[in-house]
Amino acid sequence: MNAIEDGARSAPNKGGGGRREGRTRLNQLPEWTALGKHREQLGEAHLRELFAADPQRAENYTAQVGDLHIDYSKQLVTDETLALLRDLAAATDVFGLRDAMFRGEKINATEDRAVLHTALRAPRDAVIEVDGENVVPKVHAVLDKMSAFAERVRSGEWTGHTGKPIKNVVNIGIGGSDLGPAMAYEVLRSYTDRNMTFRFVSNVDGADLHEAVRDLDPAETLFVIASKTFTTIETITNATSARNWLLTGLQAGQDAVAKHFVALSTNAENVAEFGIDTANMFEFWDWVGGRYSFDSAIGLSLMIAVGPEHFREMLDGFRLVDEHFRTAPAESNVPLLLGLLGVWYGGFSGAQSHAVLPYSHYLSKFTAYLQQLDMESNGKSVDRDGNPVEWQTGPVVWGTPGTNGQHAYYQLIHQGTKVIPADFIGFAKPVGDLLPGLVAQHDLLMANFFAQTQALAFGKTPDEVRAEGVPEELVAHKTFRGNHPTTTILAAELTPFVLGQLIALYEHKVFVQGAVWNIDSFDQWGVELGKVLAKRVEPALTEGAEVEGLDASSRALVAKYRSLRGR
Ligand code: F6P
């Protein structure tokens, strides 16, 4: 039996899934030390040599999960590296924590919450209990309610205050209540009802709402107010402004709100206080983290756009990868592998960032979505017991769709001084409804996709450069060191089913890393301080109020701001 299936060797998951007191610190585990030694032994080993030594490397270092074909042969790893990484996963009880998550244990210890986004895509007959209650029937009741509502809006049966059908949907939310639906709406544009308009407003900068509504008819507009807590200042401020815009535009009273506002939230009290009929509230629960929530009620705008069937296909994709992560052995468990690769580069090669480079225009917001998923989850510097960590945790996640980045920042990846592991995501077929004349461009897009990972891995040696007749003084400039690690994720087509698979893959990858690093990937206390200070500073801007504790720099900036505003 592989060590990882045998449970933790250093310390089992003692804290009922939450705190894991008494465990050996990560960097004192023999498995960690072994990886460090192995890294030294690998030295300057080059991917050119690793491929030359193993003619089967491309086949051997390829995995499949659902529709996702994953080639990790261009990663700077050997069989020994992978075995040592799996040993580390065993020693840190990654699978023990995984099982605790799927069982509904309160593994988010600092908030004393279960972490059950996987229940959002569980089949109807599954049983998943939180505090002794099976949550699956509630999940499906909300999904059914969302489906019925989405159909009524899509068919024109749901009408606004003046009797006109809804043609525009404006989602107002921020962070996890915006990034997921906004990203997925872009990804699945070809599946959307092209006769309707969908907009996503998040920024408290009034320009965002202004641009979203300026050309819309309020009589045909539905606002979907997405906020788990229904206290987030940006969302409540924008929702209040939207309500004013609507009532002014319709020259109507509060009673018009019911037909033009729905809420997605866990907080019925605040929803009712805002004036939204709680019959038009779509519920979710505290065991769904904001950044893991877009397959909950938070996906309503997306469901209206693509229809309930496509939404459910997407949930099937999530579920497929959940099952893979839950059951696949360590050797073939893809989220485990991808998570461990990140641990490897962060821990032993000094990598500070991770690029996600989708070769699909429709994935233009995918990396921004992953930024919250990964960085809000694993941007932590204390472990589950509150001790400072002495190892790298979450990387800076960044990237934009190819081929644009090739003409902007790829230079730094190719010839800069930094270690930047990258994921390349591409599709064999172009999206269905492209104009016929544009379909042919897909091969050019994908030629770039394959060329980049080859160039990054194998580079160009000084001898190869010289052989092209390049003058000696330019040889160093035109040499590509190569050896830049990449994973290639290739699927036939970008469908709702495949999108669900992709997102679940990254969710579980982030989980694996948090488990190894022994941090709480499900809280986000780090965003609180800024929120509190913003509330304190606002009266200083508007009324010139004295703000206690404002530092000298901020005080001077506030004074400058006020003078620039003529106050
Ligand atoms: O401030 C961060 C955060 O709490 C995120 O975790 C969350 O996704 C976002 O704000 C929005 O929160 P809410 O859905 O409660 O408005």
Would you list the DSSP string of 446-463? HHHHHHHHHHHHH-B-HH
pTM score, whole prediction? 0.96
Q: Is residue 534 lining ligand 1, measured as CB closer than 6 Å? A: no
Residue 90 near residue 2, CB atoms below 8 Å: yes
Q: Which of 411, 281, 427 is nearest to 358 (CA)?
A: 427
Q: Per the structure block, which two tokens stand in for 443?
A: 């091969």
Can you tell me whether residue 192 is helix, strand or coil?
A: coil
- pLDDT number for residue 549: 87
Backbone angles phi, psi at 285, to 5 degrees: -135, 165
Question: Mean pLDDT of successive 10-residue segments in the chain (567 residues)?
Answer: 40 47 88 98 97 98 98 98 98 98 97 98 97 97 98 98 98 98 98 97 98 98 97 97 98 96 97 94 97 97 98 98 98 98 98 98 98 98 96 98 96 98 97 87 97 98 98 98 98 98 98 98 95 91 90 94 95
Q: Is residue 301 lining ligand 1, measured as CB closer than 6 Å? A: no
- pLDDT number for residue 548: 87
- pLDDT number for residue 5: 41
Nearest-5° angle of CA 534, CA 536, CA 540? 100
What distance in angstroms lies between residue 370's CA and the mean position of ligand 1's atoms? 15
Which ligand 1 atom is nearest residue 524's CA? 6
Which ligand 1 atom is nearest residue 235's CA? 16
Q: Per the structure block, which two tokens stand in for 454?
A: 């080859």
- pLDDT number for residue 19: 53
Q: Which residues, 6+ apart, have CB-to-CB distance to 485 below 8 Å?
A: 47, 74, 75, 76, 341, 345, 419, 421, 422, 456, 457
Strands, E assignment, 59-149: 62-65, 68-71, 129-130, 133-134
Q: Which of 433, 172, 33 is nearest to 24 (CA)?
A: 33
How do beta strands 396-398 and 197-201 pair?
unpaired
Which ligand 1 atom is nearest residue 531's CA? 1
What distance in angstroms lies between residue 365's CA and the mean position of ligand 1's atoms? 18
DSSP codes, 35-85: HHHHHHHHTT--HHHHHHH-TTHHHHTEEEETTEEEE-TTSS--HHHHHHH
Residues annotated as catalytic (active site), given as ranges: 376, 407, 531
Q: Is residue 289 lining ligand 1, measured as CB closer than 6 Å? A: no
- pLDDT number for residue 476: 98
**Cα torsion through 349, 354, 358, 363, rounded to 10:** 160
Q: Per the structure block, which two tokens stand in for 147?
A: 């489906």
Q: Is residue 524 lining ligand 1, measured as CB closer than 6 Å? A: yes
Pocket test for ligand 1, best of 294, 527, 528 (most atoms within 8 A of CB): 527
